[in-house]
């Protein structure tokens, strides 16, 4: 008799037939399982207690709060399939509303709290939620235009989440099924008809457990939910994943350095996820501290990091944690076991430095429509050039219309793929191939070991006069460690009106450091030539590393920073 195959989700078999009978449990079942396994373990934590003190709720306490709120929701008219919106900064209250909506068999609609009032209102008009939960920033505005608005903030005691309770004996709604929609995630709040991604319980939960094939975590880990949790990336990696294994979630609300350092230090974070910009900034602070110790110490540290990285790649053991203990403690990341980067490829230099310093640093890839994780680098066998290894055979990734180098559009099929766009059947249909694969819109290739290499977005491709395809993201990534450049967006411009061929330009917002070095203020226009000269030097340096057809031929210095998403990615404007 063959041995039973062991997966990260094998423990679910203990509860199969008792709590659930399907392939994957639903959200409520996941929380009930974790609360049964680890009732007294910390679940939700933040630093919003009196005078910034630490608040922690155990799994047993969270389950009680969630069930209480879900019962109140049902007593106040929520039926199965009703939508409940939540908008606010990361908090235990936010997480409680999210889970309670699903315990009530509703559909949660998380809204980006950074959107303008008219954009939020546009999403509300589209989703038509039966209830809205908002933090202090949006509460009054939303209350003026909408009925049934409740508070994530204790300031409004009568409508505060933790004060909502019903003594009525109302029958529970029929339980959610795995194929029921659990959440609608809007990919933007712009005017017009917003695109809402419908993700089911099975989408989220299958992706959660399958992703653990490439990343082992569990009870005792402390996840840092710093990026906005309404976003699919944070929602899956720093909320759903830790809930499934009994880990602790520390809710971060701000990227202000003082608050970030406090939460890292006092939270004793073991798993952190971020985007390239966040990790670049954190590393810049560390390397600055090393440089200040003088060239001799800096040179020795550089040598030791190189040696540490080689040892890790060859043996799998990482001496960096011991070698650089003092540096990591100063940066409040000594307890960090794993750092995960998503939202775009990271500079290989940053990737190497974190790993060399003793922190397991891995990249992942996905999109909202896939719940979102599609690939993740295993800690034990990572590849710097890759955004992750796929989860074959639990999903299938293929490359559509590959060129001679195997580069083409990435497409995927698997249980994590969305049910569709909310009330947009035609838009949904366009996203799929005839054989049922979701077209991601991203360009890349798969190597022989199923590692995915990302090149860029299909709609961002620049076609040069020589017919070469240039991916702007690859060029932008080359500037990640240049301190003089705060933001850069690479795009095409029409170089020849007759052939309509494109040249490559860079829109650059210089860092404050450039102006400080020149001793001028940003608004002093006479300094623009000097600033441009410094930036041009950086561009020339990067250009020498690029193929001739991929080199930047003109630059524009921006007076104001480019708009960014709440996950710190520059919003592109298409010409």
Point out which residues pair with 445 in neighbouring strands: 453
Give the pLDDT confidence score for residue 217 in this predicted structure.
96
Cα 277 from Cα 297, distance rounded (Å): 27
Q: Could you give the count of Cα atoms lying within 13 Å of 115 in the half-sphere of its Cβ?
A: 26
pTM as predicted: 0.85
Give the pLDDT confidence score for residue 274 in this predicted structure.
86
Give the pLDDT confidence score for residue 563 in this predicted structure.
83
Give the pLDDT confidence score for residue 4 in this predicted structure.
57
Give the pLDDT confidence score for residue 6 in this predicted structure.
83
Whose CA is closest to 181, among 423, 419, 425, 438?
419
Give the pLDDT confidence score for residue 499 in this predicted structure.
52
Give the pLDDT confidence score for residue 247 in this predicted structure.
98
DSSP string, 187-256: S---SS---EEEEEHHHHHHHHHHHTTS----BTBEEEE-S-TTSHHHHIIIIIHHHHHT-EEEEP----
Give the pLDDT confidence score for residue 188 in this predicted structure.
61
Give the pLDDT confidence score for residue 567 in this predicted structure.
66
148-149-153 Cα angle (round to 5): 145
Give the pLDDT confidence score for residue 575 in this predicted structure.
46
Q: In 10 A of CB 397, how many CB atoms? A: 21
Strand ranges, E, within 282-415: 338-341, 360-366, 373-376, 388-389, 396-400, 408-413
Give the pLDDT confidence score for residue 566 in this predicted structure.
67
Cα 493 from Cα 505, distance rounded (Å): 7
| pLDDT digit string, tens, across residues 339-352 | 998 876 677 888 88
- Tell me the C-alpha to C-alpha distance, in Å, between residue 452 and each of 264, 276, 471: 31, 18, 16
Three-state DSSP class for residue 181: strand
Give the pLDDT confidence score for residue 419 in this predicted structure.
97
ω into 393 cis (within 30 of 0): yes
| pLDDT digit string, tens, across residues 411-458 | 999 999 999 999 999 999 999 999 999 999 898 999 999 999 988 877
Question: Average pLDDT of each block of 10 consecutive residues along the chain (575 residues)?
Answer: 71 96 97 98 95 95 98 98 97 98 98 89 94 96 94 96 94 97 82 84 98 95 94 95 98 87 94 85 77 82 86 82 87 92 78 87 91 93 90 96 93 98 95 96 93 85 70 85 89 70 87 88 78 92 88 90 76 60
9-271-10 Cα angle (round to 5): 5
């Amino acid at each position: 008799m063959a041995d039973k195959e062991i997966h990260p989700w094998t423990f679910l078999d203990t509860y199969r037939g008792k709590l659930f009978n399907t392939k994957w449990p639903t959200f409520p079942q996941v929380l009930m399982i974790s609360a049964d396994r680890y009732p007294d373990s910390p679940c939700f934590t933040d630093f919003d207690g009196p005078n910034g003190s630490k608040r922690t709720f155990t799994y047993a306490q969270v389950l009680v709060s969630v069930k209480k709120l879900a019962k109140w929701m049902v007593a106040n008219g929520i039926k199965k399939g009703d939508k409940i919106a939540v908008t606010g900064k990361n908090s235990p209250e936010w997480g409680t509303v999210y889970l309670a909506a699903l315990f009530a068999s509703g559909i949660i609609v998380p809204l980006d709290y950074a959107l303008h009032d008219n954009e939020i209102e546009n999403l509300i008009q589209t989703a038509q939620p039966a209830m809205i939960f908002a933090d202090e920033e949006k509460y009054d505005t939303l209350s003026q235009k909408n009925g049934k608005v409740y508070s994530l903030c204790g300031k409004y005691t009568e409508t505060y989440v933790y004060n909502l309770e019903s003594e009525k004996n109302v029958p529970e709604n029929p339980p959610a099924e795995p194929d029921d929609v659990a959440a609608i995630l809007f990919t933007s709040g712009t005017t017009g008809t917003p695109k809402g991604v419908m993700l089911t319980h099975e989408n989220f939960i299958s992706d959660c457990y399958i992703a653990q094939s490439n990343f082992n975590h569990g009870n005792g880990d402390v996840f840092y939910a710093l990026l906005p949790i309404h976003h699919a990336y944070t929602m899956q990696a720093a909320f759903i994943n830790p809930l499934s294994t009994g880990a602790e979630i520390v809710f971060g609300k701000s990227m202000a350095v003082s608050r970030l350092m406090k939460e890292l230090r006092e939270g004793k974070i073991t798993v952190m996820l971020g985007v390239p910009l966040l990790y670049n900034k954190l590393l810049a602070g560390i390397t600055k501290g090393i440089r200040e110790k003088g060239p001799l110490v800096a040179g020795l540290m550089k040598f030791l990091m190189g040696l540490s990285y080689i040892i890790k790649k060859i043996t799998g053991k990482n001496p960096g944690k011991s070698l650089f203990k003092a540096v990591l403690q100063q940066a409040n990341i000594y307890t960090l076991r794993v750092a995960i980067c998503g939202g775009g490829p990271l500079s290989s230099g940053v990737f190497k430095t974190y790993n060399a310093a003793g922190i397991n640093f891995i990249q992942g890839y996905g999109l909202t429509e896939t719940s979102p994780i599609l690939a993740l680098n295993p800690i034990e066998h990572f590849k710097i050039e890759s955004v992750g290894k796929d989860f074959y055979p639990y999903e299938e990734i293929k490359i559509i219309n590959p060129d001679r180098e195997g580069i083409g559009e990435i497409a995927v099929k698997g249980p994590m793929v969305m049910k569709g766009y909310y009330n947009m059947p035609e838009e949904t249909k366009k996203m799929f191939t005839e054989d049922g694969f979701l077209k991601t819109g991203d360009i890349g290739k798969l190597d022989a070991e199923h590692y995915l290499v990302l090149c860029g977005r299909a709609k961002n491709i620049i076609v040069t006069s020589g017919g070469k395809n240039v991916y702007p993201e690859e060029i932008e990534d080359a500037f990640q460690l240049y301190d003089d450049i705060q933001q850069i967006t690479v795009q095409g411009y029409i170089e020849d009106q007759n052939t309509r061929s494109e040249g490559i330009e860079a829109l650059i917002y210089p860092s404050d450091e450039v102006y400080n070095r020149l001793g001028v203020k940003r608004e002093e226009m006479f300094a623009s030539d000097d600033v441009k000269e410094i930036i041009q030097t950086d561009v020339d340096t990067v250009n020498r590393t690029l193929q001739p057809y991929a080199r930047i031929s003109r630059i524009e210095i921006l007076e104001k920073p480019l708009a960014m998403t709440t996950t710190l990615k520059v919003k592109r404007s298409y010409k």
